[in-house]
Amino acid sequence: MRETILKTTGLTKRYKKFTALDSADMTVYSGDIYGLIGRNGAGKTTFMKVITDLTDQTSGEYELFGKKSSDTAGEKRRIGCLIENPAFFGNMTAWQNLRYYCYQKGITDLKQIDRALELVQLTEVRNKKFRKFSLGMKQRLGIAFALLDNPDLVILDEPINGLDPIGISELRETFLKLNKEQGITFIISSHILSELYAVANRFMFINNGKVLKEISKEELDLECSRCIVVKTSDTKKAVTVLEQELGVSSYKVTSSSEIRIYSDEAAPDIINQKLVGAGVPVSGIYESGVSLEDYFKTLIGEVSE
């Protein structure tokens, strides 16, 4: 069983009457690339601020590396963070800024600075002052800071903001490589679904401070892939008919009244005919299949209603 890196229980953050985070429950396991998906203002940054101790939760608990939220100070060096916009000292160069944090963290191997800068392709501008950096370069330095000192957990808030398409692709490869080769766990937030989908293996959908769904990539693929949805009050009997009379093997009973069929072995009209013929009450049958975007929209819609 994989080690639990982060576990939150009923994590809530209120600013006066506004609830920015509402009873968030989630678990991140070692080796995960955990994607936090939500619209602007959904509560992603608040969530990250709470678990990184930048703000206190109003109620609820979280455990980081198995330690309660009140006792995580000793674990900070295991975490690399980029929350909101990258912030560094404008009068210092990229290298000097990272050197400053090496002092703070007690890192004596200064090769780590060069290694971090290399990972984000900033080696050539290591001696350029931060204030002269472009938005994309600032973002890269923020990521380099998060990757300094080989952390066990890297938390990145909208890391691809300001990056060009090639930069995004390079960073994606870097994250995947670090995850695979060094086992670094990532929590990455974004409102760009396709980008998160390309790197993450687990997802949390969040809207208006509420966690809508926590789902693995496989489950997400399954929910988004093309299928035939059968609505019936007798799923047990329907499954028997599908297997025995139609030879359908790729399906999933998604609720007490819904079956999703993922194979092309039978057309909807044939399925309907067979089910009705066998006395299965069918209240609906239709083809489904959504893009990630539509899937997210549906999730938000479901909650809003």
Among 19, 30, 58, 96, binds another protein (CB under 8 A): 96
Question: Closest separation between CB of residue 209 and another protein, Å?
Answer: 16
Check binding of 69 to another protein (CB under 8 A).
no
Among 43, 80, 159, 209, binds another protein (CB under 8 A): 80
Question: Closest separation between CB of residue 240 and another protein, Å?
Answer: 55
Asked if 275 and 230 count as a contact pair (C-beta separation under 8 A), the reply is yes
Check binding of 16 to another protein (CB under 8 A).
no
Quote the radius of gyration of the chain (alpha carbons, Å): 23
DSSP state at residue 93: B
Contacts (CB under 8 A) with another protein, residues 97-116: 99-101, 103-106
Check binding of 58 to another protein (CB under 8 A).
no
Question: Closest separation between CB of residue 175 and another protein, Å?
Answer: 18
Closer by beta carbon to another protein, 1 or else 73: 73
Please say whether the dihedral angle defined by the alpha carbons of residues 73, 87, 137 and 103, taken in this order, is positive or negative. negative
Separation of alpha carbons 228 and 262, rounded Å: 7
Partners of 288 in the β-ladder? 227
Partners of 67 in the β-ladder? 64
Give the residue carrying structure tokens 């092309």. Answer: 264
Residue span binding another protein (CB under 8 A) among the ranges 84-92, 117-125, 173-181, 296-304: 84-92
Helix, coil or strand: residue 244: helix
Q: For residue 88, what are the contacts with CB-CB under 8 A and spacing of at least 6? A: 94, 97, 130, 138, 141, 142, 145
Question: Closest separation between CB of residue 102 and another protein, Å?
Answer: 8
Among 24, 83, 94, 125, binds another protein (CB under 8 A): 83
Contact positions vs another protein (CB under 8 A)? 52-55, 73, 76-77, 79-81, 83-85, 87-92, 96, 99-101, 103-106, 145-146, 151, 155
